[in-house]
A = this chain, B = another copy of it.
């Protein structure tokens, strides 16, 4: 499995709008096992996106999906920056399909 943990900073006051765009655009992505959008509890402009994919190919293919491309186009003006992105290899756990 292939994973990403990303910290994204929204333009001031735009976090909720950005989150809604991300959730809408990522609802149907083949090979995506988990994609969770969360607000930082301490920083009012930060979102955390945690992703698990069945492999890197599915993640790369997702970037060409029309809904994802639309979300990127709509969301980009609301993003101030990407503050960190970590690549992981998820091993398992709750909330994933059985291995």
Contacts and interface: CB of A to CB of B under 8 A. Distances in A.
B34 A88 contact: no
Contact of A87 (B5, B33, B42, B94): B42
Interface in A45-99: 48, 50, 52, 86-96
Instruction: Point out which of A5, A26, A29 has the most chain B C-beta atoms below 10 A from its C-beta.
Output: A5
Nearest to A2: B41
Interface string A4-44: 01000000000000010001001101001111111111100
Given A5-B48, A48-B5, A91 B34 contact: no
A-side interface mostly: strand
18 contacts: A3-B36, A5-B5, A5-B38, A5-B50, A19-B91, A23-B91, A29-B94, A33-B94, A34-B36, A36-B92, A37-B92, A38-B90, A39-B89, A40-B88, A41-B88, A42-B87, A50-B50, A52-B95
